[in-house]
Each structure stands twice: as structure tokens, then as C-alpha cells.
Amino acid sequence: MATPPHDPYGDQPPRPAYDPYSQPARPPARGHQPYGQPQYRQPEYRQPSREPVTPQRFPRHVPGLGLVLATVGSLIQLLSLTVLPWAARAASDDVSLPTLWKSLTDGDSQGFGDWYVVLFSYPLIALGVVLAFAAVLESVAMKVVWGGLMLLGLGYLVLRYGLGPLTGLFGSPEPMSFTTAEIILAAGALIAVVLVALALKLAVSTFRRVAGVILLALSGIHLTAVMDLVDATAFSDLSIGAFTPSVGYLLTGAAALIGPRRLIPGH
């Protein structure tokens, strides 16, 4: 029996029909791990846990030590101006500043203590309080107010005890009739005007230190004037009220030197 001729294409499987709309197979996506391995993922960023904030047990705004001393010193000065006795006329007769001022104003002022009570007692205490708070708060506005009031007061002293006796104004008996006290007052006031003008040009921090020195010096000037007023030879001869303005000047002077320092840092 004869064998049919060998067909070389007869053993191949039939080819599928051509589909013009079929798309070629896409390559695997980048990052795809073959053979069923899991895909790599970057670890997620987690913020560190914050510790719970404990509530504060003290006021948020605590006044500074300088402000406390300035307030206490000002209250002491207020008491010394009104009710506390400055001197003793007799063993049981203590007189306050208003009584002293009235009696010396009605008469003639003779010594340093008399002039201090009549001219400087009230203004110095009032200006000292303004100066202390201007230094403690480091306030430029209060510094300018203090300087303006000082210049007004010193300008009056220069006119009253310098120009007045020179020209015969302000009740002077005749022109060029200077007394020793008037010369000292006018010259001292003129020097003080220059010093105040220089102080106003200082930086706030430097002005604070200068203010502290001035207030501490006023403490000693007050005691010297009161001892001269009552002819005292020792501090034991003074009434307790005579020391209160000095204590007030010491406290306000210390407050100016300390400045706006906080009792609790950061608050």
C-alpha cells in the first residue's frame, strides 16, 4: 500500500484567525514582583506622640519685683504726705507735713530744713513716684512727662530766685537784692536743668540706673533736711514719721535699679 506524501505543515496546530482589534500584551508594571512576591511599600511616617500639657498653677502674668517695690514705696510716700508725723514740737505733739508746711509758709523760711519743707517736700515725692514708675516700666512716655514736670519746676525756681531778685519781680524789695539762699537756689536749679536735659537724652536702660541713684540720694537728703528742721543731733530725736519718706525713696530707688525683672522668669 503506497504512503501519502509528507506534508511539512500538516503537524502544526491551526493558527487563530487574525483579529485587527486585539492589543498586544502589556509588560508588567514597574515595581511588580513576579512569581507572586508581595509588592514593596515604604513605611508610613508617624508623628511622635506629644506629652500632655499640665495646667499652670500660678497666674500667667506675674508682676515684677521692681513693680512691687515701686508700688509699696509709693503707698508709703502717700502716707508720709498726709497723716504720718514728720517732727515733734513737744514730747506728745507730733506734727504732719501739712501742718509743718502751713506754719513755715506763713512765716519766713530760714534754714535748709525750712526751704526743703516749703519748696521741695511735695514736688520731690510726687516726681520721685513718677520717676520710679518710668524707670520700672521703662516707659519713654512717662520719662518725657517726668522731664517736662522737672523742667517746669526748675524753670520756676530759676525765675523766682534768679531773675526775680535781679529785676525786682516776685515781691523783691529792690533790684539786685540777692540773699545767700536765693543765690544757692537759683544756681542749683540752673545746674539741675542741664542735668535733666542730659538725662532725657540717655537710653532707657541707662536712664533707669540714673533714676535709681537719684532716688537713693533723695533718701539721705530728706533725713538731713528734717534733722536740720528740728535741730536734731541724732536719729533718735526724730519722730518715726520722719523716716517714712526715706524708706519710700529707698524702695523706689531699689525698684528703679531692678527694673522690669519678673519674679518668675518667662511670666
* DSSP H stretches of helix in the chain: 65-82, 97-106, 112-115, 121-136, 140-158, 164-167, 180-200, 204-229, 244-258
**What pLDDT does residue 145 have?**
94
Instruction: Give the number of other CB atoms < 10 A from CB of residue 253.
Output: 26
Q: What is the distance in angstroms between the CA of the first residue and the CA of the last residue of the chain?
A: 119
The C-alpha atoms of residue 32 and residue 119 are separated, in whole angstroms, by: 99
| Radius of gyration (C-alpha) of the chain in whole angstroms | 45
Instruction: Give the number of other CB atoms < 10 A from CB of residue 141.
Output: 9
Strand 93-96 vs strand 85-90: parallel, antiparallel, or unpaired? antiparallel
The C-alpha atoms of residue 201 and residue 204 are separated, in whole angstroms, by: 9
**What pLDDT does residue 111 have?**
80
**What pLDDT does residue 101 have?**
86
**What pLDDT does residue 75 have?**
95
Read off the amino acid at residue 200: L
Nearest Cα neighbor of 216 from 112, 132, 96 is: 132
**What pLDDT does residue 264 have?**
54
Grouping H, G, I as helix, E, B as strand and the rest as coil, residue 265 is coil
* DSSP H stretches of helix in 159-234: 164-167, 180-200, 204-229
Per the DSSP assignment, residues forming a β-bridge with 95 are 87
> Would you tell me the crossing angle of helices 204-229 and 121-136 to the nearest 10 degrees?
160
The C-alpha atoms of residue 5 and residue 50 are separated, in whole angstroms, by: 89
**What pLDDT does residue 184 have?**
83
The C-alpha atoms of residue 81 and residue 121 are separated, in whole angstroms, by: 8
pLDDT per residue as tens, the chain (267 positions): 555 555 555 555 556 555 555 555 555 555 555 555 556 566 665 666 566 555 555 444 456 889 999 999 999 999 988 888 887 654 446 778 888 888 888 776 678 888 888 889 999 999 999 999 999 998 899 999 999 999 999 988 888 887 776 666 666 556 566 677 778 888 888 899 999 999 989 888 899 999 999 999 999 999 998 888 888 777 777 777 888 999 999 999 999 999 886 655 554
**What pLDDT does residue 253 have?**
95
The C-alpha atoms of residue 133 and residue 169 are separated, in whole angstroms, by: 37
- pTM for this entry: 0.69
**What's the burial of 124, exposed, middle or buried (CB within 10 Å: 0-12/13-18/19+)?**
buried
The C-alpha atoms of residue 146 and residue 197 are separated, in whole angstroms, by: 11
Q: Which residue has the cell 537728703?
A: 221
Instruction: Give the number of other CB atoms < 10 A from CB of residue 135.
Output: 32
**What pLDDT does residue 231 have?**
80
Cell of 214: 537719684
Read off the amino acid at residue 206: T
